[in-house]
């Protein structure tokens, strides 16, 4: 089967990356994971990816003089791996408009809120502090506006009395792992169609 070659970018735990790798191990999944890239050498998810035989690459942003130089190295690696799609999965670097333009319509991100609510960090703390009754997660196309691109898929969970940010985060994370593979499948199918 013809699959869309996908890079997953991480900075830490990598549980969403693992969910994507698991989904992509199915014969009929339209994306294959071409590589996993981290900007941090200590990202826990790297070992998992390596154990699955996926090429891993650390590109440490601190080793570069500027954001642009870091992104040039990242872009060069991705192109060298014939990557067609990018899934950001807890990747904690803000990307420039220039980098994003090079992957227009081919880069997605998972965010732990019901966008457009709670862009940025500490989403669960803020939802609880506001007395929100519903929380959730969103997969969106990455555009130059941080957490502001078109939403592809969302899932809701209830906020329950007594929830701490960690408890709520765990409830949302389960849904992240469910919807992110679905959204990647859609993106991959579109890319394959465009190729034909
Ligand atoms: C997830 O909550 C994701 O929504 C956000 O960062 C977290 C990454 O977790 N963008 P993990 O590394 O995928 O476990």
Contact, 152 vs 95, CB < 8 A? no
Task: Please provide the average confidence, as pLDDT, over all residues in the chain.
Answer: 97
pLDDT at 196 over 90: no
Which tokens go with 46?
A: 């790297």
Q: How large is the average pLDDT for residues 104-112? A: 98
* Tens digit of each residue's pLDDT (9 = 90 or more) over 3-24: 999 999 999 999 999 999 999 9
- Which residue, among 109, 175, 183, has the nearest Cα to 143 in the 3D structure? 109
Provide the pLDDT for residue 153.
Answer: 98
Which tokens go with 54?
A: 């996926």
Identified catalytic residue from 61, 111, 124, 177? 111
Which tokens go with 49?
A: 């990816």
In whole angstroms, what is the distance from residue 101 CA to residue 133 CA?
A: 36
Largest CA distance in the chain: 52
pLDDT at 1 over 90: no
* Tens digit of each residue's pLDDT (9 = 90 or more) over 28-56: 999 999 999 999 999 999 999 999 999 99
Q: How large is the average pLDDT for residues 144-152? A: 97
Q: Which fold has domain 4-195?
A: Rossmann fold (3.40.50)
How far, CA to CA in Å, does 131 sit from each of 55, 163, 164? 43, 11, 12
- Which residue, among 127, 149, 130, 128, has the nearest Cα to 138 in the 3D structure? 149
Which tokens go with 122?
A: 């500490």
Length of the chain: 196
Strand order in the sheet with 4-10: 56-58, 31-38, 4-10, 85-88, 107-111, 134-141, 151-158
In whole angstroms, what is the distance from residue 196 CA to residue 189 CA?
A: 11
111 is catalytic: yes
In angstroms, what is the span from residue 122 Cα to ligand 1's centroid?
12
- Residue 170 banded pLDDT, cuts 50, 70, 90: very high
In whole angstroms, what is the distance from residue 167 CA to residue 187 CA?
A: 31
pTM over 0.85: yes
Please, which residues bridge with residue 35 across strands?
7
For ligand 1, atom 1, name the residue with the nearest CA: 90
**For residue 131, which phi and psi values (nearest 5 degrees)?**
75, 25
Provide the pLDDT for residue 90.
Answer: 97
* Tens digit of each residue's pLDDT (9 = 90 or more) over 73-84: 999 999 999 999
- Cβ of 100 below 6 Å from ligand 1: no
- Cβ of 149 below 6 Å from ligand 1: no
Question: What percent of the chain is predicted at pLDDT more than 70?
Answer: 99
């Amino acid at each position: 089967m013809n699959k869309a070659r996908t890079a997953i970018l991480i900075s830490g735990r990598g549980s969403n990356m693992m969910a994507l790798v698991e989904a992509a191990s199915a014969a009929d999944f339209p994306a294959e994971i071409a590589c996993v890239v981290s900007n941090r050498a200590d990202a826990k998810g790297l070992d998992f990816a390596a154990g699955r035989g996926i090429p891993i690459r650390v590109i440490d942003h601190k080793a570069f003089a500027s954001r642009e130089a870091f992104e040039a190295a990242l872009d060069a690696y991705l192109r060298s791996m014939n990557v067609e799609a990018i899934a950001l999965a807890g990747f904690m670097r803000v990307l420039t408009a220039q980098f994003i333009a090079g992957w227009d319509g081919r880069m997605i991100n998972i965010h732990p809120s019901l966008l457009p609510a709670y862009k940025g960090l500490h989403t669960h703390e803020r939802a609880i502090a506001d007395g929100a009754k519903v929380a959730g997660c969103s997969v969106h196309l990455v555009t130059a506006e941080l957490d502001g691109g078109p939403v592809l898929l969302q899932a809701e969970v209830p906020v329950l009395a007594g929830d701490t940010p960690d408890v709520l985060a765990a409830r949302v994370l389960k849904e992240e792992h469910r919807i992110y593979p679905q959204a990647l499948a859609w993106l991959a199918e579109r890319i394959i169609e465009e190729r034909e």
